[in-house]
Amino acid sequence: MRNRKWFYRQLFSYMPAFFIVISFIFFVFFQLLSDQSRKEAVKANETLLLQAMSSIDSSLKTIEQMLMTEMLKNTDISSFYKNGTQSDYYLNIKLVEFINNFKNAYPLVDSIYLVRTRDSFILSSATSSSLQDYPDYAFIKPYIEQEKKDAGWTGVRNFEEFSIKGAKRVVSLALKVPFLKTGQGFLVVNVSADAINDSVEGMYSQDVSYIHVLDRSGGDVLPITEAQSRQNAVSRAISPVTGWEYQSGLMNGKWFNVANQLYNVWFMLGMLMILAGVAWIVYAARRNYRPIEQIVTQVQKFSQTKASSLLQGNGEDEFTFLQSAINQLLEQSNSYQRQYREDLHVKKAYLFQQLMEGQPLAKPEDWEMMRDTMLLNDMEKRQVVCVVEIDKFALFCSQFTQQDQYLMKFALKSVIQETAQEYGGFVWTEWVSNDALGVLLQMEDQQDPQRQVTEILDHARIWVMEHLKLTVTVGAGGTAMGMEGIPDSYSQALQALKYKMILGDNRIIFYVQHIKEEHGGMFDYFQLVHSIAQSFRLGKEDWRDKYKTLIRSIEQSLLSSDHILNLADYLMYSIGREMDKMTKEYQELWEHGGRSSLQEALQGADTLEQVDAGFEKALEQFYGELQKIQETRNHSETIRRVREYMDRDFANPDLCLDLLSDRFSLPSKTLSKLFKEETGQKFVDYLIELRIGRAKDLLSHTDHTVQEIAEKVGYVNAISFGRMFKKVVYLSPGEYRDHIGRVNQGGNQDMTAL
């Protein structure tokens, strides 16, 4: 391609945007640099402020601590307040000397005077006076009258000791003397505000920054000039010692403000650059989109007229080449049918899933259009949904590689379709899960749809078994008329497959032929399972007969796989609960051996026959281990003979622990304890179980009255018998007899063994 006009057009269109981006990067750099400088200046000013505050606080705190130390150690000060008099000139001279020495040691101190409340006497380095005549009486009066307590350092005030000298700006501290007891007076120290200002001014250059200190009432501790007052404070802090507020700022305020303004200018400039870049990109895109619009127009025309030839790269520029390439792509995908077939299987599988789940589909006229293009079923005819499930799918996955599994699934799907064609039928097959193939069979034989299903799917089942060495089980739902009935037929097919466990695999299971309404007798099954678990706990051999009765009842009642698995789980739960009543060695045997063997027998079982065989073997093994434990226990034989005696003589109303104690030569308490350890049950509970069990049998098979049955099982009073029966069975004797009658009429005679 010699001519590169399209390339240069694109290049020059977006070059300004490139420069805008570079400029924006520089803007970000200078913006960050400016912001960092501003932060550093603020940080330095804040450090200066903290240093000044720390210096002043340290000086004031040192003065305060040293005065307190002197008040504790200086005997002259103590003597002044305790027993001093106005005429004790020697003591007063020594105190004046102390005051002068302290002022020399701490230059910030302007003056100190001592107030003795006992005789209203004041002593300073310059004078002595009565309290009421002293010029600073107004300041000290609130402290004497205890209106102010522990006020700390005051704000700035005017102190005038002699009118000839004029007032001075000071901050004061009044200390109670002695400060550990009720005060006998005060020691007042005045610190010069000007001296504080002089000490702080040496810490910074007033041409660069300033520090302004305000006391608690807002008065100026450190005065500032008019120029400084016009600046904006950038740092503030509150002293923890005095409570004063410290403010600081930069004296070159206009430059600092200029920098802030430049910050805003940079920000606005950056935003304008972004907007300019966006505007230019939009403009360039709109200008360059015009040839694309032309291409779209040509594509629309091409799809209608089918151009006869394509350019072969001999155009004037890249645009011509691009146009030629698009025309070639359109030619390759021109046919809607070919484009649709590329993903036909995905769309068809999704549509099949929607149909099975009853999701809203297209209108009838739209369905007819899809039926012609996707080769779908005619919904005007009856349909039957079948589900073909691969038997022993876990074994299937372990025996074959992933690729072989795909091939065998493809073969299964193909053979069903080919068999339907041979028999003149029409099927739609899609995989609904890893091990299940959904089949929508269109009924050509309206009179006998079951025959048509059998011909097609049974032939495919036999072919798969012979050639693929694989067995499948087919669940067939009822006949559906229209789309609305297909989800019900699909549910029926899945329900039919649940009976594979009891009917066996490698067959066709018709929902309408095999599935009957269940009798709702699960409570009776649970009772029988509970009885089996009790026989295990008591070491009775009759558990085998009860187990066979349970299996026989399941076969006759045609329970689904869900119910069978629930019963198996309940049997394991019941045995475990009974073992929990026993000693620790029985519990460990169940936890480490019995439970796991039953769970292994249940896993991988597809039919009731397999479940029965695995469970019976595991139960026999567990029962044998129980017998071995019982044989090794010292009193097992004795308790066994006690139980045999109770089984024979439970109808004796006088049967009790004392009677058995005399008969077997064991103390009643020992007998009760051994009975509980060996059977996991109290003596009274075991006796009640025997009597109620016999009563249930008499209620089921005889016409004896409740009073007669009560006497036959060891109860003298029929009322007591009825109360105990209802407590155990949750039904009264009469209600239980009616319930058994209804069960027998429903065809569950085996359950009367309960």
Angle made by CA atoms 191, 195, 200, in degrees to the nearest 5:
120
Q: Looking at 206-210, 242-246, 620-624, which range is the least confident one? A: 206-210
Locus of tokens 């249940």:
602
Q: 311: which residues sit within 8 A by CB, 6+ positions away?
A: 320, 321, 323, 324, 327
Locus of tokens 């649709």:
340
Angle made by CA atoms 73, 76, 78, in degrees to the nearest 5:
65
Q: Per-residue confidence at 496, pLDDT binned at 50, 70, 90?
A: confident
Mean pLDDT of 149-174: 80
DSSP element (H, E) containing 426: strand 426-433
Whether 728 and 691 have beta carbons less than 8 Å apart is answered as no
pLDDT at 229 over 70: no
Nearest Cα neighbor of 190 from 221, 163, 169, 209 is 169
Q: Per-residue confidence at 388, pLDDT binned at 50, 70, 90?
A: very high
Mean pLDDT of 659-673: 81
How many angstroms separate the Cα of 291 from the Cα of each of 213, 313, 320, 658?
72, 18, 11, 111
| 642 token code pair | 């006690």
Q: Across the beta sheet with 382-390, what order do the strands follow?
A: 426-433, 436-442, 382-390, 472-481, 508-510
User: What tens digit of pLDDT does each residue of 280-335 get?
Assistant: 777 776 666 666 666 656 655 654 544 444 444 444 444 555 566 566 666 665 65
Q: CB burial class (10 A; 0-12, 13-18, 19+) of residue 163?
A: exposed
Rounded Cα distance between 449 and 267, Å, is 81
Contacts of the segment 82-87: beta carbons below 8 A, 24+ positions apart: 82/184, 84/116, 85/119, 86/119, 86/121, 86/128
User: What tens digit of pLDDT does each residue of 398-415 get?
Assistant: 888 888 888 888 888 888
Q: Residues 362, 366, 372, 373: is their CA dihedral positive or negative? A: negative
- Tell me, what amino acid is at 616? E
User: What tens digit of pLDDT does each residue of 419-448 get?
Assistant: 888 887 888 888 888 888 998 888 776 667
pLDDT at position 307 is: 42
Calculate the CA dihedral of residues 689, 692, 696, 699 and round it to 10 degrees: 170
**Measured between alpha carbons, how far apart are the two ends of the chain, in Å?**
95
Q: Where are the alpha helices (DSSP H) in 223-363?
A: 226-229, 253-305, 318-332, 336-342, 344-357
User: What tens digit of pLDDT does each residue of 668-724 get?
Assistant: 888 788 777 777 778 888 888 888 888 888 888 888 898 889 888 888 888 888 888
Rounded Cα distance between 467 and 432, Å, is 24
User: What tens digit of pLDDT does each residue of 79-102 get?
Assistant: 888 888 888 888 888 888 888 998
Whether 474 and 416 have beta carbons less than 8 Å apart is answered as no
Which span out of 297-311, 455-469, 504-518 was modeled with the highest average pLDDT? 455-469
Whether 400 and 393 have beta carbons less than 8 Å apart is answered as no
pLDDT at 127 over 80: yes
Radius of gyration over every alpha carbon of the chain, rounded to an integer in angstroms: 53
- Residue 539 DSSP class: T
481 pairs with which residues across the strands? 382
72 alpha-carbon distance from chain centroid: 66
pLDDT at position 312 is: 47
- Residue 218 DSSP class: S
| 145 token code pair | 């009258």
| 754 token code pair | 């309960």
Calculate the CA dihedral of residues 4, 9, 10, 16 and round it to 10 degrees: 140
Rounded Cα distance between 618 and 605, Å, is 14
Mean pLDDT of 650-661: 83
How many angstroms separate the Cα of 484 from the Cα of each of 377, 383, 442, 498?
14, 11, 15, 23
Whether 33 and 263 have beta carbons less than 8 Å apart is answered as no
pLDDT at position 750 is: 42
Locus of tokens 């704000």:
155
Q: Reduced to 3 states, what is the DSSP secondary structure of residue 102? A: helix
Q: Across the beta sheet with 235-238, what order do the strands follow?
A: 220-222, 209-214, 245-250, 235-238
DSSP element (H, E) containing 123: strand 121-124
pLDDT at 519 over 70: no
Whether 462 and 456 have beta carbons less than 8 Å apart is answered as no
Average pLDDT over the chain reads 76
Rounded Cα distance between 600 and 608, Å, is 15
How many angstroms separate the Cα of 452 from the Cα of each of 380, 422, 479?
18, 12, 12
Q: CB burial class (10 A; 0-12, 13-18, 19+) of residue 244?
A: buried
User: What tens digit of pLDDT does each residue of 568-583 get?
Assistant: 877 887 777 777 777 7
DSSP element (H, E) containing 477: strand 472-481
DSSP notation for 67-85: HHHHHHH-HHHHHHHHT--
Bridging pattern class, strands 245-250 and 235-238 = antiparallel
Q: Looking at 34-48, 538-552, 676-690, which range is the least confident one? A: 34-48
Mean pLDDT of 458-487: 85
